[in-house]
Amino acid sequence: MTNTILRNIIRFFVLIFVQVLIIKNIELGRFINPFLYVLFIIILPFETPKWLLLVTSFILGITIDTFYDTAGMHAAACVLMAYIRPGVLKLFSPRDGYEFGTQPTIQYLGIPWFLSYAGILVVLHHLVLFYIEIFRFSEFFSTFFRVIVSSIATLLLVVVSQYLFHRKKEQE
């Protein structure tokens, strides 16, 4: 239990540092803005209490807002993402339910399941973030294009990080 808590605390800070120090400073064009930090919310353990999920998501979002100078936009997108997460998990729940003590990763549940689950959450996050940022309908289609392209870039980073840093536990 404490190992999982410590691992998630370290993941929280590592993802913030990677987002702020590396990804923020890479120029990928006007429309491509990947946000790898959402991986923290995506792969929290299944049994994470809803209140803790919302609080940590708010702290994650407001921390990113501090570095991006965005006045609560990331916090709002993260909290909505965390609020919707249990429903999305229930939507994709296996017949026998999820195994206790596991995390929603590619290694445990496979690529199709993970892409469906993470894709919904990432697109939702990006929709909220980019439409709050632009806050007008005159640029609806260019913002929607930005949501789609940025979501693809974010999902690509999330999947690559899954293969680089997450290994399936050995069966004992």
Domain 2-165 sits in CATH 1.10.150: no
Whether the model clears a pTM of 0.85, i.e. scores above it, the answer is: yes
Q: If we measure between CA atoms, which residue out of 61, 64, 87, 63 comes closest to residue 76?
A: 61
Per-residue pLDDT of the chain (172 residues; tens, 9 = 90+): 678 889 889 999 999 999 999 988 887 877 889 999 999 999 998 889 999 999 999 999 999 999 999 989 999 999 999 999 999 999 988 777 777 777 888 888 889 999 999 999 999 999 999 999 988 888 899 999 999 999 999 999 999 998 887 665 433 3
pLDDT of the residue at 59: 96
